[in-house]
Amino acid sequence: NIARSADEAERQARGENVINAQFEEERIASEEAAADLLEGGAGQIASEFSEA
């Protein structure tokens, strides 16, 4: 793997798999964004017939 920054090079030198770490960070961010959407009411249908 080729490091894209000095920080990434240091992480690789310590043996960290930066690709897996990046995927994990993106997965966590995606889950948090989905939770925020649901908390804000996304996906809920409001109508005069539904009870709140």
pTM (predicted TM-score): 0.55
- Which long-range contacts does 32-41 make (Cβ < 8 Å, 24+ apart)? none
Domain ranges across the chain: 1-52
Residue 36's pLDDT is what? 85
What pLDDT does 49 receive? 63
- Amino acid (one-letter) located at 21: A
Encoded amino acid at 32, one letter: E
| Whether the predicted pLDDT of 52 surpasses 90 | no
**CA atoms of 21 and 29, how far apart (whole Å):** 12
pLDDT at 30: 95
Give pLDDT tens digits for 1-50. Answer: 789 999 999 999 999 999 999 999 999 999 999 988 887 766 666 666 65
With vertex at residue 8, the alpha carbon angle to CA 4 and CA 9, rounded to the nearest 5 degrees, is 90
Residues 31, 33, 36, 42, CA torsion sign: negative
Given this model, what pLDDT does residue 40 score? 74
Contact 18, 11 (CB under 8 A): yes
